[in-house]
Amino acid sequence: MQKKFMKTMLIISTLLLLLFGIIAFQMFGKLRYILVQNSERTGQQVEEYSDNAMRDQITRRLRDTTLGCAYTVNEILGNFAGTVTIIADAATDIYSNPDKYGKAEVKIPDKSDIGKSIGQFVYAFDVDPSDPEIQQELSMIGNQQGNLLAMYGQYEELGASYIGTETGIMLLAGPVLSDRWDENGNYVYLDPRKRPWYMDTKEAGTVHFSEITEDYDTGRLAIMCGAPVYRNKEFVGVAGAGLYLEGVEKLMMNAKIGENGDACIIDEKGRVVFSSRDTGELKPQTILGKGNEGLAFLSHKAIMNGESGLELLDVDGEKNYVAYSPIEVVGWSLISIIPEKTVIAPKEKLLYSLKESGDYELMQIQNITKSAIVTIFGIIVAMGFLSTAAANVLSKKLVKPIETLTEKVESLEGDQLDFEWDINTGDEVQKLASTFGLMTMRMKRYISYIQFATAEKERISAELSLATKIQTSMLPHEFPPFPERPEFDIYATMEPAREVGGDFYDFFLIDDDHLGLVMADVSGKGIPAALFMMTAKTTIQSYSMKVRSAAEILRKTNNSLIKNNQTDMFVTVWLGILEISTGILSCANAGHEYPAVMKNGGQFELLKDKHGFVIGGMEGVRYKEYTIELARGDKIFLYTDGVPEAADADNNMYGTERMINALNKDASSPKEVLKNVHDDINSFVNGAEQFDDLTMMCLEFK
């Protein structure tokens, strides 16, 4: 009976152990399946995300950096050419209208002037400096000494600024160099008519950049810019300046991405002018694409077509991402490259690490499974009578930790990778948990790296925010602007649709009895429009200080801007000049919105004035001028198209009718007038996204 009982107990124990073994085996299989699936899913997600993220981040940064550096170089050279053109225009006016100008003294430098930045009289061998006609011409163009010295002080890398004439004389502004005298102490002659910048500009008949050459005095690499000077229509000389290129080269180096990236500049002939590489297909003085069809095609697109873009090309036998952008004012292009292997290296390293960890984890699971099965069958054979106690021990020491580990593994998803293991089993489960903990730590470090890349993007956004503040500071923003002038009250606001906008307003005292008013809207948005806005604003204000006719100011501004308008941008402008003592407002409109005028005791009404063509759209445009007689208490409201074209979520436009109704609400001051319109627009759009700049200005004549 006892044997039968023991046999029955042994059978029962064995069956129980077998059942436990089956259950344990199923649990091990489930754990293995979960870990393998999670590992594969994690690897796929990391591979897809890291590959796309790294390529997008780095190539976008490469493209944006190249575009930004090229744009900056283009703006520097464009502004440089614009300044030279202004000097040439002023010299043309002096030659064409000498009676309007006085006589200025220009000295021949002597050795005591070495190192000083002054206006200098330089002349050719066949010129008699004491000749009365030479002295008369010199005293005439000597009126430009101040402008030339101002230009020299404006540009840090400027070698000198000058005006050379057909008579062989030259007015030069810059430092007096010891090279002006030979080894015997004799004055060294300089014939401007024989210099390349003079001859090339004379032949071109317009603003002209020379090829890169060594400076005549210092031997440093420089590019010369010249603009022709005329007496009426007769060519009489060239105004020009030489710009050292160290600053351009430094800007080019800013286009490099990382330690393995490179950058170069190619000229209009496809020749590499500057490069961060000393050898290979991008080294200086080589023709880009010689023997390389991909680079040759890129050179054709960049130089012949003036395009910008991003390509994946072979450079020196290695795949590289190549970004290119034109420097249009001189026909150059900026090129920046980064090896493809640099872009994908972090991803490959991570995937290799994940695979290695996954293989190790799978091996550990298999070892644990085999060990558990052998242990279970050993217990069945050798310790059947202790099966119940052994099952209890195994349940506590083996199954429970594995289930806990499984639950923790299943809870890991998305960016929640915090893995904690506080159970000390002292066996393979402990090793497996430790290994998985190390893997999650590596994944968290990689996510931190991705977050760092995202922070870089936010830094760029911060720089755009700084650009917004700079633009805002360019506009009058302190109110009241002229507290000492009780004859009028003025208030203005500008809200850009993006970080920086193209709208601008301006008001300034021309003299004690004349106030200039400007409301303008540049085509386009963003930084290009903001830069064009600053140029237009400065030009309008400059001519307003010299000319009293609103129409003539717009005409001169149009002619000035269109000469250097490489981007085909334009600006609509309403300009008024108020004679404060009489209340007469002389106005001209270059394609801008109609102003709204309110007579004292009346209501605001649109004044449908005569529109002229936009500024910067076509050369030679003339504008019609008209006057508005303002009496005490009269107001005038100026705005850009962003006001009537503000739209709600259903694309219904605000319109001028609603604007006039808002203007005619009770308001005791220009500030309250603008507040009424602004509040009415906000109520109408009801939170819809703003697509255009909102700019308004109101003047009350007191």
Task: Check which CATH number belongs to the domain holding 648 and give it.
Answer: 3.60.40.10
| Domain end call among 411, 429, 448 | 448
Encode pLDDT of 31-60 as tens digits. 566 656 665 665 565 556 556 666 777 788
Tell me which amino acid residue 598 is.
Answer: M
Q: How many domains does the chain have?
A: 4
The domain boundary residue, chosen from 342, 370, 395: 342
Evaluate whether residue 57 is within a structural domain.
no
Q: How confident is the model at residue 11 (pLDDT cuts 50, 70, 90)?
A: confident
Closest by CA to 276, choosing from 245, 255, 291, is 255
Q: Is position 63 within any domain?
A: no
Please count the CA atoms within 13 angstroms of the CA of 588 that sit on its side-chain side: 25
Domain identity same for 328 and 352: no
In-domain check, residue 465: no
pLDDT of residue 221: 79
**Same domain membership, residue 681 and residue 538:** yes
Assess whether 640 and 524 both reside in one domain: yes
The CA–CA distances, whole Å, from 202 to 104, 231, 464, 637 equal 26, 14, 42, 48
Residue 5: the pLDDT is 44
Residue 387 has pLDDT above 60, yes or no: no
**pLDDT of 200 higher than 80:** yes
* Same domain (yes/no): 253, 367: no
Together in a domain, 389 and 479: no
Domain's final residue, options 213, 241, 269? 241
How many CA within 13 A on the CB side of residue 35?
28
Co-location of 138 and 211 in the same domain: yes
pTM here is 0.43
Q: Is residue 470 part of a domain?
A: no
How far apart are alpha carbons 662 and 675 in whole angstroms?
9
When pLDDT is averaged across residues 528-550 and rounded to a whole number, the result is 91
Let me know how long the chain is: 702
Q: Distance between CA 90 and CA 159 in Å, rounded?
A: 21
Q: Locate 261 and state its tokens.
A: 């990236």
- Alpha carbon distance 30, 407 (integer Å): 12
**530 in a domain, yes or no?**
yes
In contact, 98 and 351? CB cutoff 8 Å: no
> Do 519 and 628 share a domain, yes or no?
yes
C-alpha 362/C-alpha 381 separation (Å) is: 29
Query: How does residue 457 score in pLDDT terms, banded at 50, 70 and 90?
Result: low
**Which position has the token pair 């590596």?**
442
Residue 473: per-residue pLDDT: 72
From residue 4, alpha-carbon distances to 10, 198, 367, 381 in Å are: 9, 123, 38, 18
My answer on whether 20 and 121 are in the same domain is no
CA distances from 606 to 494, 596, 658, 680 (A): 21, 4, 12, 18
- What pLDDT sits at residue 541? 93
Question: What is the rounded distance in angstroms from the CA atom of residue 644 to the CA atom of residue 653?
Answer: 7
Whether 58 is in a domain gets the answer no
Q: State both tokens at 382.
A: 């050798």
Domain span at residue 123 reads: 79-241
Q: Per the domain annotation, does 453 fall within a domain? A: no
272: CATH: 3.30.450.20
Which range among 233-237, 291-295, 497-501 shows the weakest confidence by mean pLDDT?
Answer: 497-501
Higher model confidence: residue 354 or residue 657?
657
Claim to verify: residue 348 and residue 338 sit in the same structural domain: no
Q: Which residue has the higher pLDDT, 25 or 494?
A: 494
Q: Is the pLDDT of residue 609 over 90?
A: yes
Q: How many CB atoms lie within 10 A of CB 641?
A: 16
Q: What amino acid is encoded at 509 in this protein? A: L
pLDDT greater than 50 at residue 177: yes
Q: Are residues 221 and 300 in the same domain?
A: no
According to the model, what pLDDT value does residue 254 have? 79
Residue 623 pLDDT level (bands cut at 50, 70, 90): very high
The residue-averaged pLDDT of 390-417 equals 64
334 close to 69: Cβ distance less than 8 angstroms? yes
Dihedral of the CA atoms 81, 82, 86, 91 (nearest 10)?
Answer: 20
Instruction: Tell me the pLDDT tens digit for each residue of 577-606.
Output: 999 999 999 999 999 999 999 999 899 999
Question: What DSSP state is assigned to residue 485?
Answer: -
For residue 421, tell me if it sits in a domain. Answer: yes
- DSSP lists the bridge partners of residue 213 as 222
Please indicate whether residue 262 or residue 412 has the higher confidence score (pLDDT). Answer: 262
Residue 198: per-residue pLDDT? 93
Cβ(488)–Cβ(578) below 8 Å: yes
Residue 1 has pLDDT above 50, yes or no: no
| Whether residue 591 sits in one domain with residue 496 | yes
Q: Which residues pair with 187 in a beta bridge?
A: 181
Mean pLDDT of the chain: 82
Question: Between 104 and 400, whose confidence is greater?
Answer: 104
Looking at the fold, whether 535 and 618 belong to one and the same domain comes out as yes
**CA–CA distance, 117 with 113 (Å, rounded to integer):** 8
